[in-house]
Structure 1
């Protein structure tokens, strides 16, 4: 994809201009990261629309330019491509997310894509693909990092020799993520991506989710429940009608789904509502 065909439109999607991002810098990297997190949501709607996706970053860029988002492979792959085009020194790495503290860390399976960027004499951990974690880059250095109301920790991995461990805030949607520093390429994520987007056991397949990180919190649409977290405060609202659900998509996350017709909208809502009902029943059985 030629430079001029996507860089300026991509920056416009982020509310930024090329004139201010012609030279790589740590300050520029932070601004790009924050803008991407705020304006491009983490979302799994393509799964529920029955549209297969791949780990091709240019495919993801096309979706982002249409006003959509994606999961970690899509968002970080697209962002890496943008950063590279802007002159940043970017490396892809395999990661693996630990869903909760009761499960074992999987190691760097490739289920997650994480980036590092060398800039201004420092290596930065860059990740716009969590949906509800990093708001801006972290230095690749052990320690605790406060970003808005949340605190994250970076330390050497105990399961990935020579790798690193990202510990999420205790209020986060997952426990943490281990990653290797070995360079990776899109093909290294293809198998895990396919499994994540097709396996009936995958939570991305079981229930539709959309997330957006803000400077002071997180918005999360899981099935038919919209929640917002701002530090210690958390609100939840059930979306019981199609108008409410599509209204939340557009109003909270900026996803209008203008590209789908009325029949597809109806089918998507019915699928999301049915999956949400099944998910609620499953949770009730587990807690009984």
Structure 2
């Protein structure tokens, strides 16, 4: 999406390497810089991220056109490992260089929800209150699912689309596995119940990739799947068997921020507590049907 929107203004793009060393991340940075400009063809890989951003500043300064210039860093959390000092160097780059220019747009993305929420959106350091816009990508609604499948030349009835939605929601990655020529039942069976189905192990994988210490997140999701209506925070703690505290609050907040759960205000005569509900269709389907099949 970012590449499509900013295609004509993309000045520099960097995608982090999964579970790579800082040395490899810096080498990858240099490769992308050399791809962007031949001026850096003989440049050696920077030793640290402060040096790397210094090179990036030199590159941007050399762009003489007056149009908006986009710097896009994808999979930001993969680069910003605990000992990499990437985050502090990025903060310095933003505060000392980017804020002094009116022609720069910096876009950062990441699949690790915990990091993006706590280290970027709720940053209390150099990036505090620096975010101009947040893009919260929500799943497709039913109409958008229909349009998505039509683009793939897959024509299904509204009832069939509803059945698919109850299994995998509106997540494009899941929907992309739907095959033309198979019935809804055949698609679901292949994806969710065959030995090597694309969604068979997705439940554990998605939580481990999105959230650090994802055990608490999974316990909350399992608890929400057991109740048909919204549940209060106090009741949710009881079902989970977890003591109230920062770990639980952080996990619950991350789940609502990421669209797995929703928080609704309950203004009944008996209570004014918020009620939490599970909104992720795949998680509910997995816990109700797939998990017991695997067992």
Which of the pair is proportionally richer in helix? 2
TM-score (norm 2): 0.28
Q: Which has the larger radius of gyration?
A: 2
Q: Which has the higher contact order (CA 8 A, sep 6+)?
A: 1
Which of the pair is proportionally richer in strand? 1
